Amino acid sequence: MNLNDEIETLLAANVPLIQLVTYEEDRVIETIAALSSKLGIYAWDMAECKFTAIRAASEPFPSQDAASDKVLAHIAEKAPRGTVFILKDFHLCWSRNPVIVRKLRNMVRQLREKGQFLVITTPVNELPVELKDDVAVVEVPLPDADTLENVFTGVTRSLDSSSRPTPAVREKLIGSALGLTTNQARLAFARAYARKRQFDESSIDAVMGVKRQLIRESGALEFWPATAGESGVGGLDKLKDWLRLREKAFGQQARQAHLPYPRGIALIGIPGTGKSLSAKMLAGQWKLPLLRLDVGTLFGSLLGESERNMRRAIQLAETVSPCILWIDEVEKAFAGSGLESAGGAATRVFGYFLTWMQERQGPVFVLATANDVSALPPEFMARFDRTFFLDLPNRLERRQIFAIHLKNAGVAFPERTLRFEELVERSNGYVGREIERMVREAQFMAFADDNREIEMEDLLKALEETIPISRSHAEVIEQLRKWKTEGRAFPASSEETAAPVAGRRILET
């Protein structure tokens, strides 16, 4: 939504009562003042109890003291035609005095006849039910890149050329600030400069740090920076190939070719096979921020609060875009006990999310992970470009997983210093998380024994003490694998070797 166009449309439509939900009062005032209309503009707040002329009306308007209980009467009696009044935090007035709500309703006809407008700025949407038919509510979007560029120009205007960033760093700085308000961005830019008295690549991390904290404070979203790529994840070659082909779809060349943005994928399968790790891998591979949506934090006790929290989270993701929106263990969020425990609010939140997934046009790539999606409705799974199944790792994948975790543990060349192929063979049926746990356990053994290097016996002992999920939950694993064997999901890996399930060996074709 373009804020300028939205406000101008409401004024042209002669909508007398407008509520702008935002913390950015200054940006709202600047936006209204920059409109082509010749309307007079006055701002009022309860602390000053007076009107400040942003643009004087053609007729005189006495701006003497006007307390909160008298401000509406003052406007009704003294205000000239063609005037906009910006009432800051006026929701605090109507929440304390129900007479003000009635007065607003009484004023609607007079305001419309005289071409007058009351623009009420509030940080939250707490509109009295009595006013829902009379007030146009606008959720003010966060500033776009052009607005943030103006903010950055203001911060750096007085700096000499040696302290200013290169064009490439400048572009990255502005992009990294998407998702912040103008005041937050201004503070982030100033803090980034204060660290080294100049702007460079490290300044981008400083701005991202501010954004990471603010996104976490939003409650429902957790920010994960783009770090590790494919090298940190063993196997999953078919999944990696599919993602690699779609990486360029976010570039400018794809836009010129009218290529749509990829919509998302669902990763389902056996626990511990790397579904969550794949989300982090994708952020590193595509060099995009990863936003983890915690659906449980969306639900509130007030009517409409849950839906409002979901809208705010989606709006933030769209503002930060291009990005990856990660919903971990989606079956717990949108199926079974999740919906039952939250009642009708969960159904409405889920419905809103389904509609958004279907209608969205922006570059927000949704990645959902789940162990069992049988309880999810089919219309949800149909929203994804593809559903991948992550199975027990094959021989090659176990080899890669061992190599990654052993090197992380300080074993530089495990293939040379250990009986590596024996490890790979004996770990048939173990998932990646269990292999990682085995290596970690071997580390503890070696450290306790005079902090020596990991030896083969440490790993074999750790392997013997680990009961794989393919054995402890064989029936569950067998049921999950039907998603792949019945063709309801694409395999994330090339299938090469056998894996034991329920005490027997299942040949992988």
Confidence tier at 425 by pLDDT (50, 70, 90): very high
Written as six digits, the tokens of 15 are 């909508």
Equal fold, 230-390 vs 393-509: no
14-23, 447-456, 494-503: lowest mean pLDDT where? 494-503
Matching CATH number, 230-390, of 3.30.420.590, 3.40.605.10, 3.40.50.300, 3.30.2230.10: 3.40.50.300
At 289 the pLDDT is 82
CA torsion 323-328-334-337 (nearest 10°) is: -160
**H/E element, 20:** strand 17-21
| Secondary structure letter of residue 250 according to DSSP | G
At 373 the pLDDT is 79
pLDDT higher than threshold 90 for residue 16: yes
Residue 269 near residue 389 (C-beta atoms within 8 A): yes
Query: Pick the residue with more confidence: 64 or 326?
Result: 326
At 458 the pLDDT is 92
At 167 the pLDDT is 85
At 207 the pLDDT is 85
210-224, 281-295, 373-387: lowest mean pLDDT where? 210-224
- Mean model confidence pLDDT for the chain: 84
Residue 119 near residue 20 (C-beta atoms within 8 A): yes
At 301 the pLDDT is 62
Tens digit of each residue's pLDDT (9 = 90 or more) over 190-226: 988 888 888 877 888 788 787 777 777 767 788 876 6
At 487 the pLDDT is 83
Tens digit of each residue's pLDDT (9 = 90 or more) over 92-103: 888 888 899 999
Sequence spans of domains, the chain? 3-139, 145-214, 230-390, 393-509
Peptide bond before residue 60 is cis, with ω within 30 degrees of 0? no
Query: Pick the residue with more confidence: 287 or 461?
Result: 461
Arithmetic mean of pLDDT, 179-191: 88
Of 178, 347, 368, 372, the closest CA to residue 263 belongs to 368
Arithmetic mean of pLDDT, 464-472: 91
pLDDT higher than threshold 60 for residue 504: no
Tens digit of each residue's pLDDT (9 = 90 or more) over 366-375: 999 988 777 7
At 315 the pLDDT is 80
Tens digit of each residue's pLDDT (9 = 90 or more) over 384-416: 999 999 999 999 999 999 999 998 888 877 877
Arithmetic mean of pLDDT, 47-54: 86
At 300 the pLDDT is 64
At 172 the pLDDT is 81
Domain 393-509 annotated CATH 1.10.3720.10 = no
At 227 the pLDDT is 63
Instruction: Give 329-361 as a 3 state SS string.
Output: CHHHHHCCHHHHHHCHHHHHHHHHHHHHHHHCC
Residue 40 near residue 83 (C-beta atoms within 8 A): yes
Query: Pick the residue with more confidence: 397 or 332?
Result: 397
At 329 the pLDDT is 84
Confidence tier at 342 by pLDDT (50, 70, 90): very low
At 459 the pLDDT is 92
pLDDT higher than threshold 50 for residue 507: no
Arithmetic mean of pLDDT, 47-52: 85
pLDDT higher than threshold 60 for residue 163: yes
Confidence tier at 509 by pLDDT (50, 70, 90): very low
Angle between helices 71-78 and 98-113 (to 10 degrees): 20
pLDDT higher than threshold 90 for residue 69: no
**Rounded Cα–Cα distance for residues 54 and 504 (Å):** 79
pLDDT higher than threshold 80 for residue 250: no
Arithmetic mean of pLDDT, 304-325: 81
At 255 the pLDDT is 76
24-28, 358-362, 379-383, 421-425: lowest mean pLDDT where? 358-362
CATH homologous superfamily of domain 3-139?
Answer: P-loop containing nucleotide triphosphate hydrolases (3.40.50.300)
